[in-house]
Structure 1
Amino acid sequence: MSSEKPSTSSSARNPHTAIQDLLPTDDLGEIPTTSDWCQRWRGKRHSWRHLSEGGFDARRYVVELSPEKETKGFVLEHHYSGSFPSARFRFGLYDIGAGKAQLRGVAVFGVPVTAAVLTRPLPDLQPYVESLECSRFVLVDEVPANAESWFLARCFDELLVLGVRGVVSFADPVPRRDASGALVAVGHVGTIYQATNAVYMGRATPRTVKLLPNGVVLNERMAQKVRRQEQGHEYAEKLLVRLGAPVLRAGADPKVWLREALVTVGARNLRHRGVHRFVYRLGRNRRERERIRLGLPTVSAYPKTPDT
């Protein structure tokens, strides 16, 4: 599906109009949950599907645990981050309508950088076992509108059987552009989480991040892996080398190399006000869900617009 969208109209600004709403701008990352538009991805570029196309036929799709190689390849090809996180469970949305199952969406639930990401909002659940982070959720543009909530609900059903009682997810509201000014990451406010009644817990801690010339953020955890030569440091090093940094030579101090590499590639500081935090409590019924204690204050009003 093309990512080209209709121009602005008054109906796009009024969710109560009887006229089909139009997408406001080319750079819009997400839209209000009351809209009839659904976001899709292909090759790291987002596009849109409208409910008027006929909606989602659940009989055509199944949700299954998916192999790491297949899931990782799908995420690297389509998700705007261009990276694959540490995963405990990987679910695929498979289209079986043509006879042969074809992967059309992926949800990844895994291990965040620290246990506190899970224990702060869900203090009574065992991190990495009873609580996980939803770190990737992406559907390609071939999937009809209104599939996200069905896919997510099926994932939660499976996770509950596997002993998971809580899921934390984040939405990054900061749009990012590369050195040429091209938009490489739209700002997200967690539309799918809002539409599926996640508990909103405000923003995570503000921080300053390193923005690379290609628009990718080199977060502090990745930087620490390089400094300490921990598992996974190769990814960050190769990324910087591709951008023009020298190769880290044997015997060189990785701390010094990283500092000089960031200068060489032209990394710049970006002040980030904090990602939006959403939480799901899983259970067979409302009573079971509400028994799970929340460790952070909740916020009644969902965020509606990306940062500027």
Structure 2
Amino acid sequence: MTTWPKSPGTRGGSVMPVQEPLPFENLPEMPTTSPWCQRWRERKHSWRHVRDGGFDARRYHVDVIPDEQPGKAFVLAHHYSRSYPAVKVQFGLYDTVDGERRLTGVAVFGVPVNTAVLTKPLPELRPFTESMECSRFVLLDECPGNAESWFLARCFDRLLADGVRGVVSFADPVPRRTASGLLVMPGHVGTIYAATNAVYTGRATARTVKVLPDGTVFHDRTAQKIRRQEQGHEYATAQLIALGAPRPRPGCNRARWLSEALAAVGARNVRHRGAHRWVFRLGRSRREREDVRLGVPSLKPYPKLPDLEHTAA
């Protein structure tokens, strides 16, 4: 039986912070660029080598997915994160062989939690209209090598026509494992960013992420919804209950419940040195692209090897 403590103590009239007794671990990182293209099906990854080729643009078509649900269902079914972000526009990669339109890839361009994700690297562009984040990009394992660069280029053509001049994307090189050690996300290799002329601008802010037993990340924004009982807190609470956390008592301190629930399900704190940030400057010519001013330095060479201090022994 779990004994739930009373509300947290106070000091000087203010509520003392709730401590989360979760174990910490460091995970090895994957190379950011390589000749391998990552593919997904039912949240299981596979690889296609760029030299394999085989992509035939005549059998594929890219179009906006006007209804959120098909794209959301595709991402939830196949992307390792099992989550779907706030979306501004989503595009589908359709295989049109035999006259049928079958969804084989989804690119989601949306709204990051923090506006600074866009305004820091692209300070002169209006966020959410002239700049967006590419928050999900997933292709099925049946898509041949080089499909993603063609798909992404068609997405950028459509975005540029609608006035978008900059796109920010992140490559997360830290793998995710379940509590039993099963690898569920080997790390984004980022080949597509370097291959499609993205500007490498270094790492995002280092942080500590909470990884659940199934290998998914329990995001800080999700935790905030529970603590403050904001919209969406019911889904976040149910996610932890499904993993074995006890149901919160009516009227209980939700910050305290969250701390105890994360410990009860076996969540882990993982030290993350920050995802690699890439910026696409969109334009019809090289001059137009270079006219998009960056607020962060362009860095070279591109990262290609894991950090030695994070390499598994």
Scaled by the length of structure 2, the TM-score of the pair is 0.85
Which residue does 2:163 correspond to in 1? 163
Which residue does 2:271 correspond to in 1? 271
Matched, 1:285 2:259: no
Matched, 1:99 2:99: yes
> Within 2, Cα distance between the matches of 1:102 and 1:189?
27
Give the gaps of 5 or more residues in structure 1.
1-26
Which residue does 1:55 correspond to in 2? 54
1:1-308 map, 5 Å: 32-33=33-34, 35=35, 37-50=36-49, 55-66=54-65, 67-306=67-306, 308=311
Q: CA deviation at 1:209?
A: 1.5
User: What do the CA deviations read for 1:49-83 (whole angstroms, capped 9, x no partner)?
Assistant: 34565521111111001131110111111111111
> Within 1, Cα distance between the matches of 2:127 and 2:249?
37
Describe the shift of the 1:31–1:269 C-alpha distance in structure 2 as closer, same or farther (beyond 3 A).
closer
Letter in structure 2 aligned against 1:283:
G
Q: Is the 8 A contact 2:198 2:280 kept in 1?
A: yes
> Within 2, Cα distance between the matches of 1:154 and 1:179?
39
Q: CA deviation at 1:39?
A: 2.2
Q: Is the 8 A contact 2:33 2:190 kept in 1?
A: no
> Within 2, Cα distance between the matches of 1:189 and 1:38?
8
Describe the shift of the 1:150–1:28 C-alpha distance in structure 2 as closer, same or farther (beyond 3 A).
farther
> Within 2, Cα distance between the matches of 1:299 and 1:207?
21
Scaled by the length of structure 1, the TM-score of the pair is 0.86
Q: CA deviation at 1:249?
A: 3.9
User: What do the CA deviations read for 1:152-191 (whole angstroms, capped 9, x no partner)?
Assistant: 0000000111121110001111112111011111112422
> Within 2, Cα distance between the matches of 1:283 and 1:52?
28
> Within 1, Cα distance between the matches of 2:250 and 2:68?
31
User: What do the CA deviations read for 1:197-256 (whole angstroms, capped 9, x no partner)?
Assistant: 100010011111212121111121211111112223233212211111122344332212
Q: CA deviation at 1:100?
A: 1.2
Letter in structure 2 aligned against 1:262:
L
> Within 1, Cα distance between the matches of 2:204 and 2:51?
36
Describe the shift of the 1:52–1:130 C-alpha distance in structure 2 as closer, same or farther (beyond 3 A).
closer
Count of residues paired in the alignment = 280
Q: CA deviation at 1:94?
A: 0.4
User: What do the CA deviations read for 1:97-140 (whole angstroms, capped 9, x no partner)?
Assistant: 12110000000000001100000000011111111100000110
> Within 2, Cα distance between the matches of 1:99 and 1:250?
55
> Within 2, Cα distance between the matches of 1:233 and 1:166?
32
Q: CA deviation at 1:28?
A: 10
Describe the shift of the 1:96–1:137 C-alpha distance in structure 2 as closer, same or farther (beyond 3 A).
same
Question: SS of 2:143's equivalent?
Answer: coil
Q: Is the 8 A contact 1:173 1:189 kept in 2?
A: yes
Q: Is the 8 A contact 1:189 1:303 kept in 2?
A: no
Q: Is the 8 A contact 2:80 2:216 kept in 1?
A: no
Question: SS of 1:98's equivalent?
Answer: helix
Q: Is the 8 A contact 2:29 2:175 kept in 1?
A: no
Question: SS of 1:129's equivalent?
Answer: coil
> Within 2, Cα distance between the matches of 1:296 and 1:31?
19
Cα RMSD over matched residues? 1.9
Q: Is the 8 A contact 1:198 1:278 kept in 2?
A: yes
User: What do the CA deviations read for 1:240-276 (whole angstroms, capped 9, x no partner)?
Assistant: 1111112234433221211111121122211111110
Letter in structure 2 aligned against 1:196:
T
> Within 2, Cα distance between the matches of 1:253 and 1:207?
25
Q: Is the 8 A contact 2:32 2:171 kept in 1?
A: no
Q: Is the 8 A contact 1:189 1:305 kept in 2?
A: no
| Bigger relative CO (Cα 8 Å, ≥ 6 apart) | 2
Describe the shift of the 1:281–1:53 C-alpha distance in structure 2 as closer, same or farther (beyond 3 A).
closer
> Within 1, Cα distance between the matches of 2:165 and 2:249?
45
> Within 1, Cα distance between the matches of 2:249 and 2:98?
51
